[in-house]
Structure 1
Amino acid sequence: MRARFPDFRLGNVLATSFTGTLSERHGNAVERIPTPHRLVDWLAVNGLAVDSSTTAQLALARELRESIHAAATAAAIQDPLPATAVQVINDRSSQGRAAAVLTSDGERRWLLSSASCVEDALSVIAADAISILAGERDGKLALCASPTCQAAFFDTSQSRTRKWCDMNTCGNRQKKARFHANQSTSAK
């Protein structure tokens, strides 16, 4: 029987979705890729399928995740990007050999150099982070308004005023808390 892991939080932006594999960073942290096999699962869901992952590759993935999170957080609050985070992102980006290919449906897919090359998948994630951090994409980095989450996310809403990394989790939780607080106040 397989162990039950927390569900992935999937978004439309690869790099910030990857940082969401560790959620509730300022509360009871939830690690969504606790094992190498779970990293394989996350990569597959995001179009970067690999056959397997090692403990060392999981460590590289987590280092990249934390570097993207640190850089995205700094960018969201308009602080200088941390040099160590930038170095890790650049290293991961340059060490892969993934290629973008066009499908007959007109969609971009990633072709990894081999089915066991987690490093190629990490290079795609790092390159996505670079495009966001460099301001090449239409949107802005923001931090989740949930005090226990504060995840960095890429806001592509028309007004660029989104408050939550995910409305179905953080936003819903905050709205419920406000509702219950208002109910308690009304009952007094």
Structure 2
Amino acid sequence: MCPAFPDFRLGSVLATSFTGTLSERHGHPVERIPTPQRLVDWLAVYGLAVDSCTSAQLDLARELRESIHAAATAAALQEALPASAVRVINDRSVQGRAAAILTPEGERRWRFGSASAVEDALGVIAADAIGIIAGERDGRLALCASPTCRAAFFDTSRSRTRRWCDMNTCGNREKKARFNASHRKRPASPE
């Protein structure tokens, strides 16, 4: 992976981690898959290894990412899902031809069924998004409390009250900002 690009934000839920490849959507957006090779790199991290990616396939991936973000945001807010986002998610899901296989070590791997491995990988991501948006997994969709982020994330905490998409980035930054603001308001102590 090229050090000139921002690090990936890694999570345990494939679909919402994929939407995290564009962060700080309401501040200064950070594109984490700016090139086809970076998409190849990201897919490999999530066990969806492909040999190559074209610019057109990167465009498909970004369209899926934004559609998942729009639908997950609507679901988190308990609003109607955007029809265009649902269409893109469904199209990517049915066009993918991937199969889960079990390795001798007892791990799941993906086998892609067509020469368009990127489309197959996007199908796996779309299917994961369908599962979480449809409420088939134990957890809840939520939006990051950071006003510059507002990323959709899947909260699997015991209480389902998580506030940040990532405590190490958004949560830490927001808590630090509150701490600094509270210290600026305190009068200087006399010596």
In the superposition, the TM-score normalised over structure 2's length comes to: 0.95
| Residue number in structure 1 paired with 2:72 | 72
Identical amino acids, percent of aligned pairs: 79
| Residue number in structure 2 paired with 1:81 | 81
| Residue number in structure 2 paired with 1:182 | 182
| Residue number in structure 2 paired with 1:171 | 171
CA distance 1:55–1:34, shift in 2 (3 Å): same
| Residue number in structure 2 paired with 1:90 | 90
Structure 2: stretches of 5+ with no match in the other structure: none
Does 1:110 pair with 2:110?
A: yes
| Residue number in structure 1 paired with 2:5 | 5
| Residue number in structure 1 paired with 2:101 | 101
Does 1:133 pair with 2:133?
A: yes
User: What is the SS of the residue equivalent to 1:111?
Assistant: strand
Superimposed CA distance per residue, residues 48-93 of structure 1 (whole angstroms, 9 cap, x where no aligned partner): 0111100000000000000000000000000011111000000000
Deviation at 1:116, TM superposition (A): 5.4
CA distance 1:187–1:20, shift in 2 (3 Å): same
| Residue number in structure 1 paired with 2:35 | 35
Deviation at 1:103, TM superposition (A): 1.9
| Structure with the greater alpha carbon radius of gyration | 2
Superimposed CA distance per residue, residues 128-177 of structure 1 (whole angstroms, 9 cap, x where no aligned partner): 00010111100000000000000000000000000000000000000110
Structure 1: stretches of 5+ with no match in the other structure: none
User: What is the SS of the residue equivalent to 2:186?
Assistant: helix
Deviation at 1:3, TM superposition (A): 6.5
The two structures, once aligned, show a CA RMSD in angstroms of: 1.2
Matched ranges for 1:149-168 at <5 A = 149-168=149-168
Equivalent residue pairs, number: 187
Q: Name the CA distance, whole Å, in 2 between partners of 1:96 and 1:40.
A: 16
Deviation at 1:113, TM superposition (A): 2.5
